[in-house]
Amino acid sequence: MSSSREYILSLRAVRERATIVGNAAKAGNLTHFDYHEQKMEDVADFVTTIINRDYGGGRISTIPPHGRWQHIEAGGVPRVKDLLETWRKAGCDDKEICRRVIDLFFVSVLVDAGAGDTWRYTEPHTEKVYERSEGIAIASLHMFLSNDFSMSKDTSVPRVDASGLQSLTAETLAEGFQSTEHNAMVGVPSRAALLRSLGQSLGAQQDVFGPDGRPGNVVDHVLRHARDDKADLHDFWDTLQHLLIPIWPKDRTQVARQPVGDAWPLSTLERQADPQDTNGSIQPFHKLSQWLTYSLLVPFERILGVQWLNADSLTALAEYRNGGLFVDLGALTLKPEALERGRKASGHDLPLFDANDDVIVEWRAMTIALCDMVHEKVLKRIPDELLTIAQVLEAGTWKSGRELAAQKRPETKSSPTLIKSDGTLF
């Protein structure tokens, strides 16, 4: 099997490498976890119950794909829908409306790493309080509408551009997210640095993003290459990876002395790999890039009617809600030595690990493998509906992981495994 840099950057590598780890789990050969296959029926039952609870009665087909659109409309407020109507009344055509939504989703997703267990965002004018992904989504919306990500201060034309991102300070981001000493969001400086790096990368790729380095200009790029309103997900993924790989922190894994983003060495893979293959132990995830891709597909579909070929190449997102589901329902349990080490690091019952710790990398790989298994089991339990992995993520695994966390840890709603992150990974 190829272990080239091109392969590590691909979606195929994410699923193929995770499948190897999943097979190791079935054979009892994980490094840090024990896998309890019989518990997977309980997981599938729980996920199916949540889906039927929220979308039963003939509404399964209405489940939206996992994406940023829903988070921005948290609390049942049609914020995106209202924006589209406002822009149409102002004379915007569908292409420009889609560009603006893409602008918004780009920054909103890329700052959507874990906010921490105590941070809250109070929405202006409504005084409603939101937390975690929804809080980040709504905060980023208000910053976008104030043109905090653009050099232009004409708020009647909200947008994102390379110069605006490159000049973004941690102080501006903290103010926009209401992050203070008493309401601290994790990793604000790292998030601001990530967006500045995004600005540099946008500015360097004018053939796709135009002279202003506007994310929304990818709309024109996709439409130029589409045929009969059909676009290839693989081509879009390559475009996004070319943009995003340079923006991640520089101390991450490299292949051929070049960065590969959210991809990490894993001991479980190392034992399965050819000893001559120097990259055979690397497990890629590309979590934020996939989360962005899922989110960007939606406005193309809803606003411009673009159909995406090969969209099923995207995988589950290797993050703590999807992963926490399998821990909370007993399908994965930490081996005693890993649990002891994690508890020693946290000083509490819940174990704590660095984001690049081998424990976390193995957990994330198992998350992808197990979500694929759950997807298959859910399809058997809801046989008349061809639910996509994007729909099962939205209405099933991610939501189930969140609800279990709230049930089991109501004070913090945290993951069952704590992750020390800098705000640019989870």
Q: What is the pLDDT along the chain (426 residues), one digit of tens a residue?
A: 468 999 999 999 999 999 999 999 999 999 999 999 999 999 999 999 999 999 988 899 999 999 999 999 999 999 999 999 999 999 999 999 999 999 999 999 999 877 777 899 999 989 899 988 899 999 999 999 999 999 998 888 999 999 999 999 999 999 999 999 999 888 899 999 999 999 999 999 999 999 999 999 999 999 999 999 999 999 999 999 999 999 998 889 999 899 999 999 999 999 988 888 889 999 999 999 999 999 999 999 999 999 999 999 999 999 999 999 999 999 999 999 999 999 999 999 999 999 999 999 999 999 999 999 999 999 999 988 889 999 999 999 999 999 999 999 998 889 999 998 766 766
E strands, 211-351, where?
A: 230-232, 254-255, 258-259, 263-265, 282-284, 307-309, 332-334
Q: Do 117 and 216 belong to one domain?
A: yes
End-of-domain residue from the set 181, 202, 225: 225
- Residues 72 and 62 occupy one common structural domain: no
- Asked whether residue 4 is assigned to any structural domain, the reply reads yes
User: Per the domain annotation, does 242 fall within a domain?
Assistant: no
The answer to the question of residue 410 being in a domain is: yes
In the Cβ-directed half-sphere of 257, how many Cα atoms lie within 13 Å?
Answer: 0
Q: How far is CA 184 from the centre of its chain?
A: 22
| Residue 289 domain-assigned (yes or no) | no
Total number of domains in the chain: 2
Residue type (1 letter), 179: S
- Enter the tokens of residue 338: 């890993």
Burial code (b: 16+ CB inside 10 Å, e: under 16) for 383-409 equals eeeebbbbbbbbbbbbbbbbbbbeeeb
Q: Is 290 in contact with 317 (CB distance < 8 Å)?
A: yes
Whole-structure pTM value: 0.93
For residue 225, the model assigns a pLDDT of 94
**Residue 426: its pLDDT value, please?**
63
Please, how many CA atoms are within 13 Å of residue 45, restricted to the half-sphere of its CB? 7
Task: Clarify whether residues 339 and 413 are in a common domain.
Answer: yes
Burial annotation 214-234 (CB, 10 A radius, 16+ → b, else e): bbbbbbbbbeeebeeeebbbe
Phi, psi of 105 (to 5 degrees): -65, -35
Residue 57 Rama label (left phi>0; alpha psi -120 to 50; beta): left
Same domain, 51 and 87: no
Q: Which of 225, 251, 268 is the last residue of a domain?
A: 225
Domain that holds residue 173: 67-225
* Shared domain check, 74 and 61: no
**250-259 contact pairs (CB < 8 A, 24+):** 252/356, 253/282, 255/3, 255/4, 255/5, 255/8, 255/279, 255/282, 256/4, 256/5, 258/5
Residue 194 counted as domain residue: yes
* Domain co-membership, 81 together with 212: yes
Same domain, 160 and 84: yes
Residues 73 and 13 in one domain: no
Does a structural domain hold residue 270?
yes
- Is 175 within the bounds of a domain? yes
Residues 369 and 413 in one domain: yes
Residue 402: inside a domain, yes or no? yes
Residues 421 and 277 in one domain: yes
> Are 145 and 27 within one domain?
no
User: Going along 140-249, which residue ranges are E strands?
Assistant: 230-232
Pair 219, 82 in one domain: yes
- Give whole-number Cα distances, 251 to 198, 201, 240, 243, 304, in Å: 17, 18, 21, 18, 39
